[in-house]
A and B are shown apart, each in its own frame.
Chain A
Amino acid sequence: MPANPAVTSASDAGRATADAHRDADALRDADALPSSATVGVSRISRRQWIGASLSSTAAALAALASLTTFGGARTARAHTPPSVRAERHEGASGRLDPGVLELAGPWEIGGLSPAQSGHFYLRLQVAETLLDAAPDASPRPGLASAWSVSDDGLTWRFDLRPGARFHDGSAVTADAALISLRAAQIAPSLLSQAPIASIEAAGARTVVIQLARPFAALSSLLAHASTVVLAPSSFEADGRTVRRVLGSGPYRISDLQPPQRLETVWHDGHDGPRPAITAVRYLSVGRAETRALMAAAGQADLVFTLDPASVARLRRSPGRSRLMSVMLPRVMMLKLNAGHPWLRDRRVRQALSLSIDRTGIAQAILREPALAATELFPPTAPAWHMATRDPLHRDLALARQLLSDAGWRRHEGRWLDAAGQPVSLTVRTFPDRPELPIVATALQAQWRELGIPVRVAVGNSGDIPLGHRDGSLQLGLLARNYATAPDPTPTLAADFSPQGADWGAMGWHDPRAGDALAALSRGGLSDEHAAQARRQAMAVIQTEMPVIPVAWYRLHVAVSARVEGVQLDPFERNYRIDQMRWARSSPTL
């Protein structure tokens, strides 16, 4: 039996140590699984029920007593400007601050630098990137209202929006933008991948980026959160360390309490129209159960990333909120060491893929059969989803046939390789996403049916890159986000390059895919040629299997009845709070 802390601890709700362990497991549970607590609640026993009623009675008594004694000790409203406080609307409950949009999500504010927290600044519209992304991932104006690329693809000019001002009142100039862009060139920011020769200002409002070689994906990198432009006064004298966050977006930060809370208010110096929602509060809530209960109680307007069990429950009884969801360009997949003697043969990799029951995993663990991956990209990424005629599926007989073709033979219920050695594999995974260890054990059972014993090693997210570097990795189960920048091309080009990548291919290279991705990266292809290159790369990956896709991801958001006009962004770039509005006749919460 493999060591599997996530699974063993889930079966042992009685011990505080196990609870603490699970806390650690689920801290980053962007798409969490049913934990013992939610299971325990849905199947409540009589003993628990008596306990519950007793404790709630005592709780009610104590709460009443202490409410009168202590009153509401803590408030955080001092930051809300008068204009916001005046904006009461009907139906607001006493618990939710009227006029303040309450957001809850699992992400913590780790630090102030854009590389660490840029996605917060972008999502909450505090700061802007030079370019924005349309839903199809194509670039559109952001802080730069116009841009042009020279014919040789080496000189990029960006004209900054004339009315743009930072939250300290200063104008957004090219010189000011240079500081942020140069800071964003330091690894691990994605911009460090671009072959940038120089970034200079040409006049007050024009930024010129000179490339060493053509690199079309620059437009995508300049939409990434680590390249947000902050005011020069945000940085310390070293030009890198961020001391406060002054962006140019419609909202400015009014209170920042890392790692948990961030509050913004509308910046009245912004050059856009006044939005309907003028005050926002984000709260980091690590536990999926807590977020689900906040949604059920109507105590947050937008609750991001709900776990499958909570989604199922909210669907049955939506309570005070409605569910919205969008498929993300994030893929749960197996990374294979194609340099390993057993996995070098394409037929073995295909056999491993053919014995996976993806629908079963999606149904039982993710609770949504449609999330079973038929190829690398989900249909919501139309440029990369090929709607292939040969989708990934399960076929054990074919899998066994392929292993025989590879020279393996069965002996007493298990496989021996061509040299007669018994085959057994190890899959490494990590609990940052709580479903990964569970899916790993499901895969273990499915491969046992094929006749290959597999050990599941649950460690931390550093184990897979480590195994990649020292060559010890056989299989790794991970979730890869291909939309860190809106266009997945640079990520894919790096992941499937000849030398491979930590979260990409290992010991595998196929020039057909590599060349196609490199050409896409360089740019300058006609639409038709670009589409053809994408098809070619995806087709090679689908049949050669340097990675084996298992499932896709869906972002679930619970939205309260107080807000309307909510749009979900599959790139998780921008919540578009300035497009939301308060519901005209919101029901009493």
Chain B
Amino acid sequence: MSIDSVQGAPLRRRGRWGPMLLRRAGQILALALMVGTLSFAMARSLPGDMATRIAAGRYGYDLVSQAAADQVRDELALDRAWPLALLDWWRQTASLDLGVSLVSGEPVWHELSSHLGATLTLTGAALGMGLMVGLPLGVMSARRPGGLLDRLLTAATLLVRSTPPFLIAVLLMMAMAVHLGMLPVAGAHQRGGWLLPSLTLALPLAAGIARVTAQALRSAMAMPSHQFARTKGLSDRQALLRHAARHAGLPLLAYVGVQAVVLAEGAVVVESLFAWPGIGHALVHAVFGRDVPMIQGAALCMGVLFIVFNLCVDSLQLMLDPRRTDGEAR
């Protein structure tokens, strides 16, 4: 790293935000088009009669008869040719209208907004817990490579990361709720009901964060700049906080960015299991009931969440790292 590049950075940095924001906005548009079209195509190509399936979603399949299915088909114009239906959906989406749920008859946007809040609470809490547990563990293990904590952490990470969220959730329920009776098994309305689901998501996250932090810190501390900081008289702690932490922050940020996918994917399982009224839960139900507008809305929401999350990560990286140039930030 030369002194030139560090000094030249502030000049170029101002020009770096615009393209990045534009790129992300473009991504959101492309995503909306893709997700909408894909989920539309998938829902249409699923086997079985769509009208019967929707009627079953509405009235329970005991009440479903030919008459009910026909009524649903007429009401929703399901026998309309698919290109027309698709065009209609594109037009609606362009005017920011996600349509009306085929099952409940409520506007999709209205349903999603409450689900979105629940999912954000869950992922936010999971991320917070993951960082709270993972960061200190990672720092501690980086300071003694090969020590007891480091080895324990490696083993624990392996265990937690290789256990599916489903099993973690059931084990947590049994341990915390059934045996200790400390927390409710399920239910968003219960006091502390958010703890077990967010813990289920947070445990693998914390394990990963701890490992990545340890590794990143170790390589940061092996850098000549860190050696120089120590040589010029900074204490271990000072050198860590002032120099190594910033270096280590970059791979950690990138890792957390990637974990957004895992959180979204895990939320589908965890929300269903904990009866948590979030987007993942809504998506599973929508698929089950062939509720095309809800599938499109929920998938779109998850996609946009992912992009927005990455946008935050990119922005943080830009702020943390003055070295990068426009070309490299891609």
> Measuring CB to CB, which residues of chain A are less than 8 angstroms from any residue of chain B?
13-16, 19-20, 23-24, 27-28, 37-38, 40-41, 47-48, 50-52, 54-56, 58-63, 65-67, 70, 72-76, 93, 95, 104, 108, 110-111, 115-116, 186-190, 192, 226, 241, 257-261, 281, 283-287, 289-290, 293-294, 296-299, 319, 432, 459-463, 465-466, 469, 480-481, 484, 501-502, 589
Q: Are B199 and A290 in contact (CB under 8 A)?
A: no
- If A459-B48, A502-B66 touch, whether A111 touches B273 (CB-CB below 8 Å) is no
Q: Which residues of A contact B62 (CB under 8 A)?
A: 480-481, 484
- If A188-B65, A462-B56 touch, whether A63 touches B176 (CB-CB below 8 Å) is yes
C-beta contact mask, B117-128 vs A, less than 8 Å → 1, else 0?
000000001000
Q: Are B194 and A58 in contact (CB under 8 A)?
A: no
A111 nearest CB neighbor, chain B only: B104
- If A16-B266, A56-B176 touch, whether A95 touches B272 (CB-CB below 8 Å) is no
Q: Are A74 and B193 in contact (CB under 8 A)?
A: yes
Q: Are B133 and A27 in contact (CB under 8 A)?
A: no
A190 nearest CB neighbor, chain B only: B63
A188-B67, A293-B177 given; name 15 further pairs at CB < 8 Å: A19-B165, A27-B288, A40-B167, A66-B129, A74-B191, A111-B103, A111-B105, A111-B106, A116-B58, A116-B104, A188-B65, A286-B281, A459-B47, A462-B50, A501-B65
Cα(A415)–Cα(B159), bound, Å: 52
Q: Is B212 an interface residue (CB 8 A)?
A: no
Q: Are B184 and A37 in contact (CB under 8 A)?
A: no
Q: Is B228 an interface residue (CB 8 A)?
A: no
Q: Are B275 and A283 in contact (CB under 8 A)?
A: yes
Q: Are B268 and A462 in contact (CB under 8 A)?
A: no
Q: Which residues of A contact B69 (CB under 8 A)?
A: 462, 465
Cα(A463)–Cα(B133), bound, Å: 49
Q: Is B132 an interface residue (CB 8 A)?
A: yes
Cα(A148)–Cα(B58), bound, Å: 34
Task: Please name 19 pairs of A and B residues whose Cβ atoms are closer than 8 Å in the assembled complex, sorted by A.
Answer: A20-B265, A20-B272, A23-B269, A27-B288, A54-B159, A67-B192, A70-B125, A93-B181, A116-B59, A188-B64, A188-B71, A241-B105, A283-B187, A285-B187, A290-B173, A293-B170, A297-B185, A461-B56, A502-B66
Q: Are B47 and A463 in contact (CB under 8 A)?
A: yes
Q: Are B188 and A74 in contact (CB under 8 A)?
A: yes
Q: Are A58 and B206 in contact (CB under 8 A)?
A: yes
Cα(A52)–Cα(B193), bound, Å: 20
Q: Which residues of A contact B188 (CB under 8 A)?
A: 74, 260
- If A24-B287, A27-B285, A58-B133 touch, whether A297 touches B181 (CB-CB below 8 Å) is yes
Q: Are A462 and B133 in contact (CB under 8 A)?
A: no
Q: Which residues of B contact A480 (CB under 8 A)?
A: 62
Q: Are B191 and A95 in contact (CB under 8 A)?
A: yes
- If A23-B272, A111-B105 touch, whether A187 touches B171 (CB-CB below 8 Å) is no
C-beta contact mask, B140-157 vs A, less than 8 Å → 1, else 0?
000000000000000010
Q: Are B186 and A462 in contact (CB under 8 A)?
A: no
Q: Which residues of B contact A259 (CB under 8 A)?
A: 104, 277, 285
A260 nearest CB neighbor, chain B only: B277
Q: Are A41 and B185 in contact (CB under 8 A)?
A: no
Cα(A298)–Cα(B129), bound, Å: 27
Cα(A502)–Cα(B56), bound, Å: 13
Q: Is B183 an interface residue (CB 8 A)?
A: yes
- Contact partner, A293, options B52, B174, B206, Cβ 8 Å: B174
Q: Are B159 and A51 in contact (CB under 8 A)?
A: yes
Q: Which residues of B contact A24 (CB under 8 A)?
A: 284, 287-288
Q: Is B182 an interface residue (CB 8 A)?
A: yes
Interface size of B as a range = 35 or more
Q: Are B47 and A27 in contact (CB under 8 A)?
A: no
Q: Are B171 and A62 in contact (CB under 8 A)?
A: no
Q: Which residues of B contact A104 (CB under 8 A)?
A: 186
Cβ distance B295 to chain A, nearest Cβ, rounded Å: 12
Q: Which residues of B contact A110 (CB under 8 A)?
A: 57-59, 103-104
A119 nearest CB neighbor, chain B only: B60
Q: Is B301 an interface residue (CB 8 A)?
A: no
> Measuring CB to CB, which residues of chain B are less than 8 angstroms from any residue of chain A?
46-53, 55-59, 61-69, 71, 103-106, 114, 125, 129, 132-133, 156, 159-160, 163-168, 170-178, 180-196, 199, 202-203, 206, 265-266, 268-269, 272-275, 277, 281, 284-285, 287-288
Q: Which residues of B contact A16 (CB under 8 A)?
A: 164-166, 265-266, 268-269
Q: Which residues of B contact A37 (CB under 8 A)?
A: 166-167, 170
Q: How many A-B residue pairs have CB under 8 A?
A: 255
Cβ distance A266 to chain B, nearest Cβ, rounded Å: 20
Q: Are B103 and A73 in contact (CB under 8 A)?
A: no
Cβ distance B273 to chain A, nearest Cβ, rounded Å: 5
Q: Which residues of A contact B53 (CB under 8 A)?
A: 460-462
Cα(A294)–Cα(B266), bound, Å: 22
A14 nearest CB neighbor, chain B only: B164
Cβ distance A406 to chain B, nearest Cβ, rounded Å: 32
Q: Are A15 and B175 in contact (CB under 8 A)?
A: no
Which 4 pairs across A and B sit closest by C-beta, in order of nearness?
A188-B68, A462-B52, A72-B191, A76-B189
Cα(A74)–Cα(B166), bound, Å: 24
Q: Are A466 and B49 in contact (CB under 8 A)?
A: yes
Q: Are A56 and B175 in contact (CB under 8 A)?
A: yes
Q: Are A261 and B189 in contact (CB under 8 A)?
A: yes
- If A14-B164, A188-B63, A462-B49 touch, whether A74 touches B275 (CB-CB below 8 Å) is no
- Contact partner, B171, options A19, A23, A51, A60, Cβ 8 Å: A51
- Chain A CB within 10 Å, residue with most, of B62, B114, B188, B281: B62
Q: Are B129 and A47 in contact (CB under 8 A)?
A: no
A433 nearest CB neighbor, chain B only: B61
Q: Which residues of B contact A289 (CB under 8 A)?
A: 170, 273
A263 nearest CB neighbor, chain B only: B189
Q: Are A23 and B268 in contact (CB under 8 A)?
A: yes
Q: Which residues of B contact A40 (CB under 8 A)?
A: 167, 170
Q: Which residues of A contact B159 (CB under 8 A)?
A: 47, 50-51, 54
Q: Which residues of A contact B288 (CB under 8 A)?
A: 24, 27-28
Q: Are A19 and B181 in contact (CB under 8 A)?
A: no
Q: Which residues of A contact B114 (CB under 8 A)?
A: 257
Q: Which residues of B contact A187 (CB under 8 A)?
A: 65, 67-68, 71
Q: Which residues of A contact B50 (CB under 8 A)?
A: 462
- If A16-B269, A51-B159, A285-B275 touch, whether A466 touches B164 (CB-CB below 8 Å) is no
Cα(A319)–Cα(B288), bound, Å: 34
Q: Which residues of A contact B203 (CB under 8 A)?
A: 55, 58-59
Cβ distance B146 to chain A, nearest Cβ, rounded Å: 20
Cα(A222)–Cα(B302), bound, Å: 44
- Contact partner, A461, options B61, B177, B193, B196, Cβ 8 Å: B61
A20 nearest CB neighbor, chain B only: B268
B199 nearest CB neighbor, chain A only: A59
Cα(A116)–Cα(B106), bound, Å: 13
Cβ distance B131 to chain A, nearest Cβ, rounded Å: 11
Cβ distance B147 to chain A, nearest Cβ, rounded Å: 18
Cα(A111)–Cα(B62), bound, Å: 17
- Contact partner, A299, options B55, B171, B185, Cβ 8 Å: B185
Cα(A257)–Cα(B156), bound, Å: 39
Q: Are A293 and B173 in contact (CB under 8 A)?
A: yes
Q: Are B189 and A20 in contact (CB under 8 A)?
A: no
- Chain B CB within 10 Å, residue with most, of A38, A73, A298, A432: A73
- Chain B CB within 10 Å, residue with most, of A16, A111, A186, A297: A297
Q: Are B195 and A63 in contact (CB under 8 A)?
A: yes
- Chain A CB within 10 Å, residue with most, of B63, B68, B184, B266: B63
Cα(A297)–Cα(B173), bound, Å: 9
